[in-house]
Chains A and B, each alone.
Chain A
Amino acid sequence: MSLRPEPIPDETGVTGRKEVLVGLAGALAVLVIWEAICRAGLVSRLVLPAPSAIGVELWSALREIALGGPMRGHTLITINEILAGFAVGVSLGFVLGVMIAEIPTARRVAMPWLIALNAAPKIALAPLLLVWFGFGMGSKIVMAALIAFFPLLINVVAGLSQVEEAKLKLMRSLAASRSMTLVKVKLPDAMPLIFAGLKTAIVLAVVGAVVGEFVGAEAGLGHVIKQSEFQLDVAQTFAVIVLLSVIGIAFFYAIEHLERRVLFWTHPPR
């Protein structure tokens, strides 16, 4: 019998790969069944196009994006709206969240308004925003900002008010100023919740931009969806929805990647 330690197989890696394969096989099966139903003529292609038809539309859209057709312009406009709305909403949410958590007067003044605004269905404001900010990107950026704003605000307030009492006591025992405690302890401690808020906010910013485009726009992916619906081109509608999902997922994972690097202490070393 050898006393040399055996390398321990990386079981999580193996099961992880297996799970991915099972997931892919499942997705493929759904697509095959879907395709079969459409080809058999069980569903009108005006209601549900076949995956292959959506694939063709998606391919031509991607070609246009790569080679410089009209889809590139639409996509870039929507991405710009998403990112600008996200940036504005998240910045405002952060600043207001810090103020509400740290300044009692600010809390008392702002809270009734925020509760009312949060309860209001913000999407219903879209026609109004169109009147105020016009048919261009402005109204879409405001819409995206408006709904990306709340998850961040709420998570910043929650994060700053859930800081471990012992850490605050340590800072008090060192006679630390409020700003020192905020910067050195409270904000880093709130980071996991702030990142959770950022991830919710980016997904909602996509919704906001598209809804804004639905209500009235001359360009953007939401505009393309509406046009394709007018032309009963359901396959193109689906293709654009897939494209929007991919954009949302890409932004989501970009933030998650950043989170893993910034919040290294929440993923304890082995």
Chain B
Amino acid sequence: MLAAVDNVQLGRPPSPAEAGCAIEVDRLAKAYRLGKETLVALDDVSLVVREGEFVSLVGPSGCGKSTLLNIVAGLVAKSSGRVTVRGREMTGPSRAIGMMFQSPVLLPWRTNIDNVLLPIEVFRLDLGDYREKARSLLRLVGLEGFADRYPLELSGGMQQRVAICRMLLYDPAVLLMDEPFSALDEMSREFMNLELLRIWDELRKTVVFVTHNIGEAVFLSDRVVVMSARPGRISRIVPVGLPRPRSKETLASDAFFHLVTAVRKTLDEPAPRTDS
């Protein structure tokens, strides 16, 4: 009954692209109440992310990109609208989703491999079934020799690679990454971008990646979603046609430069465009 009403409201049957859609955000709004004032963090945001697509969210601080990510993750309650992940409406955190945060958030009293295995303990699954997989993931990110060491023995970039393994271990369909490399220096960040793309090429998971770095967004993504602040809205979606696999040469190409310029121009526009 509800689904029928929704279809009427959408006014069209699902397109083939939507049939393979991993995330569907429909007229999402989020308002915070601060005393008597109401702060609109997100206003009428609709977005469809296809299976296996890499989408970045960029925008000025306060545009609600992290709020959008946290609502999709089921960590923040929405005010209105609908969020579905692989056809299921999100009402709370789900094992279909893997997350990464600004900091690695490793537990310093656990070895790196035990940090990777943390979700399995939380899910009360059999650790023995996953130990080998945890080791092979650490091998995938080049940290096999550090499995039984502690996070504090690793650099910031290495810690984020352990966090990648933790996110991937239980094989979530959708990866949500909230400025995961923003605390790293430029060189490490570029290296981590290349690492992430290498891993993504292997696994082809759906990724939503929040960043304030335009170059990073263009380099990684299939599409860059540009958001504007007050109220948080999608002002434009820039498709990135750069060929894959991408490499350091991509960063030096004219096409990359033009796309970065296009995204930057959109960000500089004073009012959100209404024709997106």
Chain A contacts to B: CB under 8 angstroms: 164, 166-167, 169-176, 180, 184-185, 188, 191, 264-265, 268-269
Cβ–Cβ contact B97 & A173, under 8 A: yes
Cβ–Cβ contact A169 & B121, under 8 A: no
Question: Roughly how many angstroms separate A180 CA and B122 CA in the complex, as a whole number?
Answer: 7
Are A173 and B92 also in contact (CB < 8 A) when A188-B109, A265-B108, A265-B109 are? Answer: no
In the complex, residue of chain B having the shortest beta-carbon distance to the beta carbon of A167: B105
Cβ–Cβ contact A184 & B122, under 8 A: yes
Question: Roughly how many angstroms separate A265 CA and B154 CA in the complex, as a whole number?
Answer: 13
Add 8 more A-B contacts to A173-B93, A174-B122, A188-B107 (CB < 8 A): A166-B103, A173-B97, A173-B99, A174-B123, A175-B95, A176-B122, A184-B122, A265-B108
Q: Mark B125-161, 1 if CB is under 8 A from A, else 0.
A: 0000000000000000000000000101100000000
Chain B contacts to A: CB under 8 angstroms: 73, 75, 92-95, 97, 99, 101-103, 105, 107-109, 118-119, 121-123, 150, 152-153
Question: Roughly how many angstroms separate A174 CA and B107 CA in the complex, as a whole number?
Answer: 15
Question: Roughly how many angstroms separate A29 CA and B132 CA in the complex, as a whole number?
Answer: 64
A266 CB to nearest chain B CB (Å) = 8
Cβ–Cβ contact B152 & A173, under 8 A: no
Cβ–Cβ contact A265 & B150, under 8 A: yes
User: Given the complex, which residues of A lie within 8 Å of B152, measured CB to CB?
Assistant: 265, 268-269
Q: Could you give 5 example pairs across A and B, Cβ below 8 Å? A: A166-B103, A170-B101, A170-B105, A184-B118, A264-B109
User: Given the complex, which residues of B lie within 8 Å of A268, measured CB to CB?
Assistant: 152
In the complex, residue of chain B having the shortest beta-carbon distance to the beta carbon of A168: B105
Are A167 and B107 also in contact (CB < 8 A) when A174-B119, A176-B122, A265-B150 are? Answer: yes
B90 CB to nearest chain A CB (Å) = 12
In the complex, residue of chain A having the shortest beta-carbon distance to the beta carbon of B178: A169
Q: Report the number of A-B residue pairs with Cβ-Cβ less than 8 Å.
A: 51
Cβ–Cβ contact B118 & A269, under 8 A: no
A181 CB to nearest chain B CB (Å) = 9
Question: Roughly how many angstroms separate A189 CA and B108 CA in the complex, as a whole number?
Answer: 9
Question: Roughly how many angstroms separate A195 CA and B4 CA in the complex, as a whole number?
Answer: 59
Interface of B is mostly: loop
Interface of A is mostly: helix
Question: Roughly how many angstroms separate A176 CA and B121 CA in the complex, as a whole number?
Answer: 10
Q: Per a CB cutoff under 8 Å, which of B73, B93, B123, B150 touches A269?
A: B150
Cβ–Cβ contact A171 & B122, under 8 A: yes
User: Given the complex, which residues of A lie within 8 Å of B73, measured CB to CB?
Assistant: 173
Q: Per a CB cutoff under 8 Å, which of A169, A264, A269 touches B75?
A: A169
Q: Per a CB cutoff under 8 Å, which of B93, B102, B123 touches A172?
A: B93
Question: Roughly how many angstroms separate A170 CA and B75 CA in the complex, as a whole number?
Answer: 10
In the complex, residue of chain A having the shortest beta-carbon distance to the beta carbon of B108: A265
Question: Roughly how many angstroms separate A169 CA and B94 CA in the complex, as a whole number?
Answer: 13
A163 CB to nearest chain B CB (Å) = 11
Are A269 and B153 also in contact (CB < 8 A) when A173-B75, A175-B93 are? Answer: yes
Q: Which 9 A-B pairs have the closest CB atoms?
A: A265-B108, A175-B93, A174-B122, A173-B99, A176-B122, A170-B105, A166-B105, A268-B152, A265-B109
Question: Roughly how many angstroms separate A185 CA and B107 CA in the complex, as a whole number?
Answer: 8
User: Given the complex, which residues of A lie within 8 Å of B109, measured CB to CB?
Assistant: 188, 191, 264-265
User: Given the complex, which residues of A lie within 8 Å of B150, measured CB to CB?
Assistant: 265, 269
Question: Roughly how many angstroms separate A166 CA and B75 CA in the complex, as a whole number?
Answer: 12
B162 CB to nearest chain A CB (Å) = 13
A146 CB to nearest chain B CB (Å) = 32
User: Given the complex, which residues of B lie within 8 Å of A164, measured CB to CB?
Assistant: 105
Question: Roughly how many angstroms separate A175 CA and B172 CA in the complex, as a whole number?
Answer: 14
Are A175 and B105 also in contact (CB < 8 A) when A268-B152, A269-B150 are? Answer: no
Cβ–Cβ contact A172 & B75, under 8 A: yes
User: Given the complex, which residues of B lie within 8 Å of A185, measured CB to CB?
Assistant: 107
A166 CB to nearest chain B CB (Å) = 5
